[in-house]
Structure 1
Amino acid sequence: MKPSALPAVGGALESEKLIEDDMSKIARSALLLAMVSAPIPTVYAHAQEKVDAERLSNHVKVLASDEFEGRGIATEGEKKTVQYLSEQFKAAGLQPGGDKGDDGQRGWTQAVPLIKSSFDGTVTATLGQGKQPPRPLSQGEEIAILPAQTDDTTIAIENAPLVFLGYGVSAPERKWDDFKGVDLKGKIGVVLINDPDFEAGKGDFGGKAMTYYGRWTYKYEEAARQGALGLLIVHETAPAAYGWPTVKNSFTDDQFDIIRDNKAEVHVPLKGWIQHDVAVELFKNAGQDFDALTAKAQTRDFSPVALDGATLSVAFKAKHEKIVTHNVVGFVPGKQRQDEAVIYSAHWDHLGVGEPDATGDKIYNGAVDNGTGLASLLEVARLQAKASPPARSVVFLSVTSEETGLLGSMYYAANPLYPLPKTAAVLNFDALTTNGRAKNISPFGNGDVSLEDEVAGYAKAEGRVFTPDPKPEAGLFYRSDHFSFAKAGVPAMSFGLDGARDLVKGGRQAGEAWYKTYVAERYHQPADEWSADWDLSGVAEDVDLVYRMGSDLANSDKWPDWHDGSEFKKVREESAAERQ
């Protein structure tokens, strides 16, 4: 699971247009909470065998072991992961669904070419504070500078002026402009994370529900469009939805991107995050009050504020190399309409080997994120291959590079192996909870899609309820691989960890406690390891529900759709003729 989303590709919406109809989402959330009358599914065309919790645990134990080295892309860990997934797909009875070889036959993988940007040496950063002595900033502790993703190999910024840009949003359709014509040439912007109405919980950006304008990816992209030399995002745990360790571990190491003709269109030379307390001191030394400017930034009247005397000097060398990583693809061919598909997906990558934690552990095993998703994908593949042949093809897609920006799914969406207009749905697994059965099931980020209605019906059929994502402010919908397909119009949703689980043992209080502990102590940290103490009965139950829904969809002629008001509905409608 990655705090990331990327520009649209292959006929998808441009990223700056990826804006939720937030009032519609709020109304929809209320509707789903009360969805006691959802239709109960009556078709069960799949095998009756259930998802096996022990099998799930065993897959995670292997994939999250130290032997797999944190499943970093373009490493020995990738080779082992791809081999394991390919072998498991083959053993389950799937057919290879990847790229065609010289013999015209498909293999198990789809090659995904990327650009890897790395530091070549150390990073130095110094904050100029006017009359105060310059303050060195510690990389990873006080500031998190990313390797340059432009073509630059040397970054040598000296005393670049800092300008506070509020939330860094330019939204003409909402009559909102945080830039107001400011000249950012040679300057570094400082912005807040999330949306302007996050704090108040109401306003033009959907209240607590994050829009794409609140994502860090958007803010860097917009800074590039505005001509800035660089951008610093002020980290705060609540609006970011993750703590500083996630920032440190995710952004100070190698960064990856698809191959672009003009990198400067989406990347500023300097990208970084800055600790909240450091930012508060910075503002104070510039004669400004951080809290007062934050309040001002929540209004349309906000204008850029030059931080007098505040400058940033940064120096480092970067190197760029082309690498090839891989999606792993298997499928069960449809017996009637093989060109139509239902896709199950899960990302296989994690953070690999990195900085050691307090215990000296430097392998980021990624057991929950996303060993649980991979295990779920493998279990559904096993059950689907044993079932009667479906009417539509069922594709099992394990994507690479989710942790580096949803790049594997983004590449697939631009280079689909099965036509997207005839892909009925994408059902994604990303970081499932390991604390037992729940009375409810929730999505990994709310979406205006009919698939949620279907989930509600299946949940009701087994005496459970569907509840919307309880933390829309976290922007989870934009942080997993289903988003790449949504941008291309394909109805998609994801299933993963959340704090809404109303556990059979312990209720919501226990569900929320697990979520908070995981995010604070294990998410994107070496401590995300497999445990024999896990209770995967809840994962098995949730995944079984998703499997039954997907299997029934594969044996039907239904086409799920986006609801009115969804930003993805128009894109889907453009290919309607291909589904007639």
Structure 2
Amino acid sequence: MRRSRLTRLWLSTAALALMTAGPGLAQTAPPSAEGARLNEYVRVLASDEFEGRGVATPGEDRTVDYLVAQFQALGLEPGGPDGQWVQVAQLSRTHQDGPATITVRSGGVTRALERGPQVLVSSDRPVSRITLTDAPVVFAGYGVDAPERGWDDFKGVDLSGKILLVLVNDPDFGAPEGHPVAGRFDGNAMTFYGRWTYKFQEAARQGAAGVLVIHDTAGAGYGWSVLEGSSTAPDFDIVRADPEAERVPAQGWIQGPVAEQLFRDAGLDFAALKDQARTPGFRPVALDGVTMSIDFGQTHANIESRNVLARIPGAGHPDETVMYGAHWDAYGRATPVGDDDIYNGAVDNATGVAGLLELARLFKAGAPPDRSVLFVSWTAEEAGLLGAEYYAANPVWPLETTVVNINMDSFLPGTEVSPQIVVIGAGKSETDGWLERRAGEQGRVLIPDPAPQAGGFYRSDHFPLAKMGVPALFGAAGFTGHNAASQDYVTNRYHKPSDEWTPDWVMDAAAVDIDLLYAVGRDLADSRAWPRWSPGAEFEAVRQASDDQRPE
């Protein structure tokens, strides 16, 4: 029965697609996005039938099948390797098996920490059990080694076998005006060094046994409930040649007040040490007499997941690519809230995938673009941008001649078109100018990210390709940080089962946003321009290294 219902859902939206996909339609004006189509795509993708679109679950199979059917109905070509619709991404999956025992010993007294409310631990190592016994605890500041910024929190201290406590965000986050560290990184705009993903990786490079990021809502950009709610979902990583060198045995988060108690147990002043950690002379500080033990079982398997790729070949320069991307995954089934354990991911990111499909329709309805246009729906974004990470390491279409990566990660439902468009990573590249010109035609203006401390630029699928030099454009209309709808979504539905489609949804405002992204992508697809990173941007050098591969 389930398969037959899904088939009816596919056919309903496929029929809609076919109605306007014909290349022979006369175009008296640019094609326009339709809110009803976007809404129907979201309704299907966010339905319980898809079980939260979890990676390597039946929900993935249904999602991939659905997306391929839509792209086929729209008349696109497969964009994956060897003429396939998918790129298989080789991933490693770990999942907690049974309870976790986490204890702290100090002054001869052992006390338990509760996994979930107090501390969260997991492992990306491909093993069935993680056991750390009486590991010394060390405060490593912000856990940053950034030689180009003159910063090293480690100072060559031997941290092998230690569990590191590190602060979230960058050393200059929240620094008062005039403080010596202010502006040393990017102020309140989080850099990659502030991200938990970086801190986990750096702890492994330092040879640590474990790392716990000390949570605070302002620095992280989200509350503890966001972390706790998704903590029972499986963890994923790309398959690594040497996981023991690249991943610590145990990694995770610790509640701020719980961490402060560990410092008091060692006779240390946490507030004073936080101040010291904002100085380039900081050295790791051992929490003398405090040890931590961690023990939990997990299942492990190497699994295959799939990026879905569709393509419209360029009529004049088919070897040059304008890319649109949106991740298809949510959290699948995870920690129940009430009696609901399906994390449907309606806004995040069924809306982005709906936009991807609607953009494909618009490009197919218009004249053939001069450059090729690639539409990619990524896997495993919620697990650490892994589908995009895999593509960046194994590109199907050369990154050197990928003009831009236009990312779509969440549109809000509604009818009110925001006069402001948030640019995540504003000023990093010339792509802003292309967006600004077209936004002006809609009577709209660009604004920088109102919550730069959350590090949004480093938390979505454009980032792995940006690290390889591909210019990124990520506009998030509607998420201004000031309107009630945005605040309500972030507070009450983000990464929760309540991120659901409801019958009162309309996507009219999102359709205007899609029209804007279509115009920008069409401009770039029909131009000979190659947008550059701004001088001093962290991705400028790698892009410049391939300048000779991009024709004028």
TM-score w.r.t. length of structure 2 = 0.91
Alignment of 1:339-418 (within 5 A): 339-357=319-337, 359-418=338-397
Alignment partners' CA distance in 2, 1:319 and 1:47: 55
Choose from 519, 523, 543 the match for 1:572: 543
Long gaps (5+) in structure 2: 1-26, 177-181
Give the residue type in structure 1 aligned to 2:95: S
Q: Evaluate the alpha carbon distance shift between residue 426 and residue 76 of structure 1 in structure 2; reply closer, same or farther with a 3 A threshold.
A: same
Alignment partners' CA distance in 1, 2:50 and 2:243: 32
1:87: how far off? 0.8
Alignment partners' CA distance in 2, 1:326 and 1:130: 51
Aligned to 2:16: none
Alignment partners' CA distance in 2, 1:448 and 1:141: 38
Choose from 105, 120, 131 the match for 2:97: 120
Give yes or no for contact 2:233–2:335 (8 Å, CA) kept in 1: no
2:307 is the counterpart of 1:332: no
Give the residue type in structure 2 aligned to 1:562: W
Long gaps (5+) in structure 1: 1-44, 101-105, 502-507
Aligned to 2:118: 142
Aligned to 1:519: 490
Q: Evaluate the alpha carbon distance shift between residue 423 and residue 174 of structure 1 in structure 2; reply closer, same or farther with a 3 A threshold.
A: closer
Q: Deviations over 1:475-512 (max 9, x none)?
A: 111011111111111111223366426xxxxxx4xx1x
Alignment partners' CA distance in 1, 2:308 and 2:355: 15
1:309: how far off? 2.3
Q: Evaluate the alpha carbon distance shift between residue 447 and residue 476 of structure 1 in structure 2; reply closer, same or farther with a 3 A threshold.
A: farther
Give the residue type in structure 1 aligned to 2:385: L
Give yes or no for contact 1:47–1:388 (8 Å, CA) kept in 2: no
1:451: how far off? 0.7
Aligned to 1:21: none
Alignment of 1:509-548 (within 5 A): 511=483, 513-548=484-519
Alignment partners' CA distance in 2, 1:46 and 1:411: 41
2:165 is the counterpart of 1:190: yes
Give the residue type in structure 1 aligned to 2:170: D
Give yes or no for contact 2:145–2:154 (8 Å, CA) kept in 1: yes
Alignment partners' CA distance in 2, 1:575 and 1:177: 30
Give yes or no for contact 1:46–1:387 (8 Å, CA) kept in 2: no
Aligned to 1:222: 202
SS across alignment from 2:59:
helix
Q: Evaluate the alpha carbon distance shift between residue 579 and residue 203 of structure 1 in structure 2; reply closer, same or farther with a 3 A threshold.
A: closer
Alignment partners' CA distance in 1, 2:161 and 2:392: 36
76-85 vs 114-123, which moves further? 114-123
Give yes or no for contact 2:85–2:310 (8 Å, CA) kept in 1: yes
Choose from 36, 50, 59 the match for 1:77: 59
1:173: how far off? 2.4
1:107: how far off? 2.2
SS across alignment from 1:54:
helix
1:130: how far off? 2.2
Aligned to 1:494: 474
1:294: how far off? 1.3
Alignment of 1:445-484 (within 5 A): 445-484=425-464
Give the residue type in structure 2 aligned to 1:300: P
1:535: how far off? 4.5
1:562: how far off? 0.8
Q: Deviations over 1:218-268 (max 9, x none)?
A: 111111111111111111111001111221234443111111111123211
2:140 is the counterpart of 1:165: yes
Give yes or no for contact 2:36–2:506 (8 Å, CA) kept in 1: no
Q: Evaluate the alpha carbon distance shift between residue 484 and residue 464 of structure 1 in structure 2; reply closer, same or farther with a 3 A threshold.
A: same
1:427: how far off? 0.5
Give the residue type in structure 2 aligned to 1:164: F
Q: Evaluate the alpha carbon distance shift between residue 290 and residue 252 of structure 1 in structure 2; reply closer, same or farther with a 3 A threshold.
A: farther
2:205 is the counterpart of 1:232: no
2:416 is the counterpart of 1:440: no
Aligned to 1:22: none
Aligned to 1:253: 233
Give yes or no for contact 2:418–2:478 (8 Å, CA) kept in 1: no
Alignment partners' CA distance in 2, 1:404 and 1:447: 27
Choose from 275, 288, 308 the match for 1:308: 288
Alignment partners' CA distance in 2, 1:91 and 1:355: 36
Alignment partners' CA distance in 2, 1:109 and 1:80: 14
Q: With a CA cutoff of 8 Å and minimum separation of 6, indicate the structure with the bigger relative contact order.
A: 1
Choose from 136, 142, 156 the match for 1:181: 156
Aligned to 1:98: 80
71-80 vs 116-125, which moves further? 116-125
1:203: how far off? 3.5
Q: Evaluate the alpha carbon distance shift between residue 480 and residue 46 of structure 1 in structure 2; reply closer, same or farther with a 3 A threshold.
A: farther
446-455 vs 371-380, which moves further? 446-455
SS across alignment from 2:335:
coil
Aligned residues: 519
Alignment partners' CA distance in 1, 2:478 and 2:143: 28
Report sequence identity in percent: 49
SS across alignment from 2:408:
strand
Choose from 253, 278, 296 the match for 2:276: 296
Alignment partners' CA distance in 1, 2:91 and 2:187: 36
Alignment partners' CA distance in 2, 1:576 and 1:458: 27
Alignment partners' CA distance in 2, 1:551 and 1:261: 40
1:449: how far off? 0.7
Give the residue type in structure 2 aligned to 1:567: E
Alignment partners' CA distance in 1, 2:135 and 2:252: 14
1:311: how far off? 1.4
TM-score w.r.t. length of structure 1 = 0.86
Q: Deviations over 1:361-417 (max 9, x none)?
A: 100000000011011101111111111111111111111111111111111122222
Give yes or no for contact 1:335–1:390 (8 Å, CA) kept in 2: yes
Alignment partners' CA distance in 2, 1:246 and 1:349: 17
1:447: how far off? 4.9
Aligned to 2:523: 552
Give yes or no for contact 1:427–1:492 (8 Å, CA) kept in 2: yes
